[in-house]
Amino acid sequence: MEHLFEKIVAGDIPSLKIYEDELVYSFLDINPLAPGHTLVIPKKKYTKIHEVPDETAAAIGRVLPRIARAVMKATGCENYNILQNNGRPAHQEVPHVHFHIIPKPDATSGLKVGWPADKIADGEDIKNRIVSALEEA
């Protein structure tokens, strides 16, 4: 079953396309937080970033800064957010990996983020577990 972004990539749902290559598609968000709010997605559906193959991730990584530069030039903004969420509890509304490029023209426009930071606990233990998992990946 095709989902929203797959239908956009296939051309079944119209979009305001910004960029396309064999692995990546980019288009304007239809519910922007600021003018120029752009999405960058892998053409193939992956729900979470850890599922994306290295080749596709590298393709996104190569083009994301280039698209961000174009959005900033076109909007005249010098500040912006890059946002990528994984899973509904983490605020992912569309179950297809996507990066938001959200211009931040002023303090009240664009993305608004709260950051309820806490002190690090058991840092050495979690560091070791992550490093071990990375070596296995």
Which residues are 101's β-sheet partners?
Answer: 38, 82
Select which of 37, 50, 96, 98 is catalytic.
Answer: 98
Does the active-site annotation cover 37? no
Would you name the residues annotated as active-site residues?
Answer: 98
